């Protein structure tokens, strides 16, 4: 199956390799570009742990002058892939979340004592879920540190547009609500619907499926927000949405 890979590099390349191994034909078209920020301080005083919701945060931390201080703290990772990257960087105490930011508060409420100090959420300028608001409602203190920004691309290449309109591309993989919103905007601008009605959107979570819903395309969502479960849908055709 010919599939559009929309996540930013270098994850687009890694996902494309996984698709090739499964016998698929990936077309890389990253819809977000990542800008890492330099000289951002890490206010870790009194922190009892950090929260990381993307592998791009791990990449940003790898080049940060204060990374050794961060690695001394326990980390809550949004999902298995981010947890693996955190261990590779050098975090020793890693708690694995369910795969989405919205799934982290229940885990943190069970594992973290409110009175032992703040948590530090290190990540992007724009986040899909308001983790700070959700936790502060329960009396937790959460500091946010922005180490990178993501910028939506302005256009799809004409080659990709032509393949989508002709039906040569059978599905698009969408891994974040912002990517899904970007794809929706660009698809509408190019008039891909109704020409691409046969296109299936493989969405990592229900929030992502909601973001692409305006296109009216078929949607597939795995039961769990894990990349391996999403890839499994490509052959099963199953959906939990």
Q: What is the pLDDT of residues 103-125, one digit of tens each?
A: 999 999 999 999 899 999 999 99
Q: What is the CA radius of gyration of the chain?
A: 19
Region of 109 (left: φ > 0; alpha: ψ -120 to 50; beta: rest) is: alpha
pLDDT confidence of residue 241: 45
162 is in which domain, residue-wise? 2-31+154-236
The model carries a pTM of: 0.84
- Tell me, yes or no, whether 69 lies in a domain: yes
89 lies in the same domain as 190: no
Q: Determine what percent of the chain is predicted with pLDDT higher than 70.
A: 98
66 lies in the same domain as 12: no
Residue 96 CA to residue 107 CA, distance in Å, equals: 9
- Tell me, yes or no, whether 188 lies in a domain: yes
Residue 48 CA to residue 124 CA, distance in Å, equals: 21
- How does residue 238 score in pLDDT terms, banded at 50, 70 and 90? very low
Domain boundary among 86, 121, 151: 151
Asked if the model's pLDDT at residue 240 lies above 50, the reply is no
pLDDT confidence of residue 156: 95
Q: Are 207 and 180 in contact (CB under 8 A)?
A: no
* CATH, residue 97: 3.40.50.10090
Token representation of residue 102? 């919205």
pLDDT confidence of residue 28: 97
51 lies in the same domain as 25: no
Q: Kindly report the number of other CB atoms within 10 A of residue 9's CB atom.
A: 14
Distance of CA 219 to the CA centre of its chain: 18
- Tell me, yes or no, whether 241 lies in a domain: no
Domain boundary among 151, 176, 203: 151
122 lies in the same domain as 175: no
pLDDT confidence of residue 193: 85
pLDDT, mean of residues 147-157: 96
Task: Decide which of 138 and 220 is more confident.
Answer: 220
By C-alpha distance, which of 202, 193, 188, 183 is closest to 241?
202
Q: How many helices (H) and strands (E) does the chain have?
A: 10, 11
- Please tell me the total count of domains within the chain: 2
* Contacts of residue 174, Cβ cutoff 8 Å, sequence gap at least 6: 6, 180, 183, 201, 202, 203, 204, 208, 211, 212
Residue 52 CA to residue 36 CA, distance in Å, equals: 15
């Amino acid at each position: 199956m010919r599939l559009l890979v929309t996540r930013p590099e270098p994850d687009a390349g890694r996902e494309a390799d996984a698709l090739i191994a499964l016998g698929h034909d990936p077309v890389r078209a990253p819809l977000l570009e990542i800008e890492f920020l330099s000289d951002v301080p890490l206010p870790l005083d009194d922190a009892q742990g950090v929260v990381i919701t993307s592998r791009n945060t791990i990449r940003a931390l790898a080049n940060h002058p204060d990374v050794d201080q961060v690695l001394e703290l326990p980390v809550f990772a949004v999902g298995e892939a981010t947890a693996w990257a955190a261990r590779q960087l050098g975090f020793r105490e890693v708690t694995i979340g369910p795969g989405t930011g919205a799934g982290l508060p229940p885990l943190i409420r069970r594992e973290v004592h409110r009175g032992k100090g703040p948590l530090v959420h290190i990540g992007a300028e724009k986040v899909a879920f308001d983790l700070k608001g959700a936790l502060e409602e329960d009396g937790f203190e959460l500091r946010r540190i922005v180490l990178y920004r993501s910028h939506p691309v302005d256009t799809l290449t004409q080659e990709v547009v032509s393949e989508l309109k002709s039906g040569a591309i059978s599905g698009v993989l969408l891994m974040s609500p912002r990517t899904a919103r970007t794809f929706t905007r660009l698809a509408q601008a190019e008039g891909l619907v109704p020409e691409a009605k046969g296109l299936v959107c493989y969405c990592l979570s229900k929030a992502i499926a909601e973001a692409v819903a305006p296109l009216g395309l078929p949607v597939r969502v795995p039961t769990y927000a894990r990349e391996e479960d999403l890839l499994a849908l490509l052959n099963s055709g199953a959906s939990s949405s």
